């Protein structure tokens, strides 16, 4: 019985990969960080509120990113060549469940009857285990023409900069989760202004919703997951030291909107190249860019 179970466990298969055509390539600017000393530490106890969010209609427009110069994505110590567009493989998701959540039996990766995707199916009770994308929410906090970034104190991407963001919890709205994450990572109580971007990353099963927000009081300080928090002008955003492709794309779109003097709502798909690290500046392509 044990040998049969091991054979079932090791007999999993994956679907073949399919090619994606690239949309654009992005190069990185050289950065000089700026600290704003006018902002001080925040009180430890805050409460959150959510303002009414406006509705948007979408139209199709390709994402255009312009920059000068380039730096490496981790620390900016070595020069990196500008990103060259290349095909991105369509990742065939392989279910992660090995043991059944209901009876503890071994699962086997198969395509159930009437389905078209590989699922983890229990070999004992027949239960089908479904995996759904995770929702990540965060805030692009604006203050005096600058944006608030946090340097990560956790892995992955330890020591790199990010917008305050994290996984949405059961029982909270996307806006509530974004404000909570901002308080947890930057001790900043914020008010939502409007939704800014929805980014899908199919390869890793994540969807990002980023809101524009403003501080209710000019206070912030690093939370347990942050080494430090700083305000950056758009010219000084450390694009060479950002933690994730989603944050890179969000800040590029925001900088472009500010340059054009018109803030929009954005949607796009980020296609991660297999094997690329979360902070690899050349490890993704942007497709299906929509904006209001």
Give the residue-averaged pLDDT of 22-31. Answer: 36
Neighbours of 217 (CB within 10 A): 13
Over the stretch 143-189, which tens digit does the pLDDT of each residue have?
A: 999 999 999 999 999 999 999 999 999 999 999 999 999 999 999 99
Whether residue 176 lies inside any domain: the answer is: yes
Give the model's confidence band at 69: pLDDT under 50 very low, under 70 low, under 90 confident, else very high.
very low
Kindly compute the dihedral angle of the four CA atoms of residues 195, 174, 63, 280, in this order, to the nearest 10 degrees: 140
Let me know if residue 261 belongs to a domain: yes
Rg (CA), the chain: 21
- 8 Å CB contact between 39 and 143: yes
> So what's the pLDDT on residue 282?
80
Q: Would you say residue 113 lies in a domain?
A: no
Mean pLDDT of 71-76: 28
* Contact indicator for 250, 163 with CB cutoff of 8 Å: yes
The predicted model gives 80-101 an average pLDDT of 56
Q: Which residues of 112-137 are buried (b: 16+ CB within 10 A; e: fewer)?
A: eeeeeebbbbbbeeebebeeeeeebb
Asked, for residue 231, whether it belongs to a domain, the answer is: yes
Who's near 220: CB < 8 A, 6+ residues apart? 39, 41, 42, 148, 186, 187, 188, 229
Q: How many domains does the chain have?
A: 1
Whether 241 contacts 76, CB under 8 Å: yes
Instruction: Look at residue 147 in the predicted model and tell me its pLDDT.
Output: 99
pLDDT, mean over the chain: 77
Q: What is the pLDDT of residue 121?
A: 95
The whole-number pLDDT of residue 7 equals 42
Q: Domain for residue 177, yes or no?
A: yes
Could you give the C-alpha distances from 183 to 65, 111, 164, 166, 178, in angstroms and in order? Answer: 30, 43, 8, 11, 9
Cα 159 to the chain's mean position, in Å?
16
Residue 80 domain flag: yes
The parent domain of residue 256 ranges over 19-92+132-291
* Cα 113–Cα 114–Cα 115 angle in degrees, nearest 5: 90
Structural domain contains residue 156: yes
In DSSP terms, which residues pair with 266 in a beta bridge? 197, 291
The pLDDT of 49-73, averaged and rounded, is 34
| Residue 200 belongs to domain with CATH number | 3.90.79.10
- What's the whole-model pTM score? 0.69
């Amino acid at each position: 019985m044990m040998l049969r179970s091991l054979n079932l466990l090791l007999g999993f298969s994956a679907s073949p990969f399919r090619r994606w055509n690239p949309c654009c390539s992005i190069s990185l600017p050289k950065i000089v960080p700026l600290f704003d000393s006018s902002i001080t530490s925040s009180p430890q106890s805050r409460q959150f509120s959510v303002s009414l969010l406006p509705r948007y209609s979408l139209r199709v427009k390709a994402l255009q990113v312009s920059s000068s110069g380039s730096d490496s994505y981790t620390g900016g110590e070595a020069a990196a060549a500008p990103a060259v567009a290349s095909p991105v493989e369509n990742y065939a998701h392989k279910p992660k469940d090995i043991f059944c959540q209901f009876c503890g039996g071994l699962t086997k990766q198969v395509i159930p009857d009437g389905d078209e995707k590989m699922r983890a199916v229990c070999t004992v009770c027949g239960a089908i285990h479904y995996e759904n994308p995770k929702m990540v929410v965060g805030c692009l906090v604006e203050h005096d023409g600058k944006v608030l970034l946090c340097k990560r104190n956790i892995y992955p991407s330890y020591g790199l900069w990010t917008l305050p963001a994290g996984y949405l919890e059961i029982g909270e709205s996307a806006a509530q989760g974004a404000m909570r994450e901002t308080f947890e990572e930057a001790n900043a109580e914020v008010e939502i202004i409007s939704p800014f971007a929805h980014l899908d990353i199919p390869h890793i099963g994540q969807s990002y919703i980023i809101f524009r927000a403003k501080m209710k009081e000019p206070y912030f300080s690093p939370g347990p997951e942050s080494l430090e928090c700083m305000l950056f002008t758009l010219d000084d955003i450390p694009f060479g030291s950002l933690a994730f492709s989603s944050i890179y794309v969000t800040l590029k779109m925001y900088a472009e909107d500010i340059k054009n003097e018109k803030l929009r709502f954005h949607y796009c798909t980020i296609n991660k190249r297999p094997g690329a690290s979360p902070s690899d500046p050349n490890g993704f392509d942007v497709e299906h860019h929509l904006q209001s």
